[in-house]
Amino acid sequence: MVILRYILNFLLSLRTTLWLLGLSLMLMFAGAFVMPGRQEFQQLHSMPMFEWIIKQPLEITWWLWGLIGALAVMAVNTLFCSVESIVKKRKVTQWLLLISPQVIHVGFLFILLAHLLSGLGAYQTTAVAHEGSVLQLSPGNTLLKVNNINIKLDYYGYVSDYSVDIEYLADNKVIDHDTIRPNDPSDKTGLNIIVKDLRAYPAAAVLFQIHSEPGAVWALTGGVLFMLGITTLILLKIKMEK
């Protein structure tokens, strides 16, 4: 019982939050110097983080393991503190002032969830294609066919705009069409397909980058909640001061 109370107090403490934030800062600071010097981190873009981390030596991943641990405890700490705050202050009249920091916390938790999901299932691959090329998208049996590659060059020969017309095929039937442009990827199959690079000569060619990001929706939800919470909090504080 004493141990349980100790754990509960630990998880409800703002001091715990500060220690965890401080620890996370130190670990990320260390990682910022370990990461640029090691080639192994280049592979981290093309496979799920958890799959990558278990294959790497501890000498380059210790800070990331430590960060994952600190963030896991911080998630529980955030949840406990938010619940306690709502329970303790539930009778206040300014409920928006009570809720907005908790909305920020929920946003933060969603962002952590997004990274967890992406860490477990995100991957990236590349493929070169020409007009008429057909690519197999995996997982599944959907095919991607490149119909047109339109490249606009400026006076100096730089690419100023482009569009790539594609269609998705399954069982030899066209199931969907799409056009990929700058900042306008194709995500009709659950995969996010962007144009990484293009070449106009000798024959038009395109380098696709194909991403799977299971955490993207959660990251967006978390980001929006965080923005809403903090904007509301600031507006309320300004209003109170006036």
**Residue 194: CB partners within 8 Å, gap ≥ 6?**
180, 185, 208, 209, 211
Asked if 141 is part of the footprint of another protein (rule: CB under 8 A), the reply reads no
- Give the contact letters, 40-59, x = binds to another protein (CB under 8 A), - = no: -x--xx--------------
Hey, is 17 helix, strand or coil? helix
Q: Which is nearer to another protein, 44 or 143 (CB)?
A: 44
Q: Which is nearer to another protein, 112 or 146 (CB)?
A: 112
**Conformational region of residue 164, where left means phi above 0, alpha means psi within -120 to 50, and beta covers everything else:** beta
- Smallest separation, CB 201 to another protein (Å): 18
Asked if 112 is part of the footprint of another protein (rule: CB under 8 A), the reply reads no
Q: Quickly list DSSP for 24-67.
A: HHHHHHHHHHHGGG-GGGGGGGSS-HHHHHHHS-HHHHHHHHHH
What b/e readout covers 150-159, taking b as 16+ CB neighbours within 10 angstroms?
ebeeeeeeee
| CA dist 82 → 9, 26, 56, 98, 228 (Å) | 14, 25, 36, 10, 16
Number of residues that bind another protein (CB under 8 A): 52
Classify residue 36 by burial, with Cβ atoms within 10 Å: 0-12, 13-18, 19+: exposed
Q: Which is nearer to another protein, 2 or 238 (CB)?
A: 238
- Smallest separation, CB 7 to another protein (Å): 21
Residue of 6, 29, 65, 95 that binds another protein (CB under 8 A): 29
Q: Which is nearer to another protein, 28 or 143 (CB)?
A: 28
What value does the CA radius of gyration of the chain take, rounded to a whole number of Å?
Answer: 24
What residues from 152 to 181 belong to the interface with another protein (CB under 8 A)? 154, 156, 158-162
- Smallest separation, CB 205 to another protein (Å): 17
Residue 138 is given by DSSP the state: S
What residues from 199 to 228 belong to the interface with another protein (CB under 8 A)? 209-211, 213, 215-216, 219-220, 223-224, 226-227
Q: Which is nearer to another protein, 36 or 202 (CB)?
A: 36
Using alpha carbons only, give the angle 58, 63, 67 rounded to the nearest 5 degrees.
125
Instruction: Please state the length of the chain.
Output: 242
Encoded tokens for 28:
């990320």
Asked if 118 is part of the footprint of another protein (rule: CB under 8 A), the reply reads yes
Query: Which residues are at the interface with another protein (CB under 8 A)?
Result: 14-15, 17-18, 21-22, 24-25, 28-29, 31-32, 35-36, 41, 44-45, 114-115, 118, 122, 124, 154, 156, 158-162, 182-185, 192-194, 209-211, 213, 215-216, 219-220, 223-224, 226-227, 230-231, 234, 237
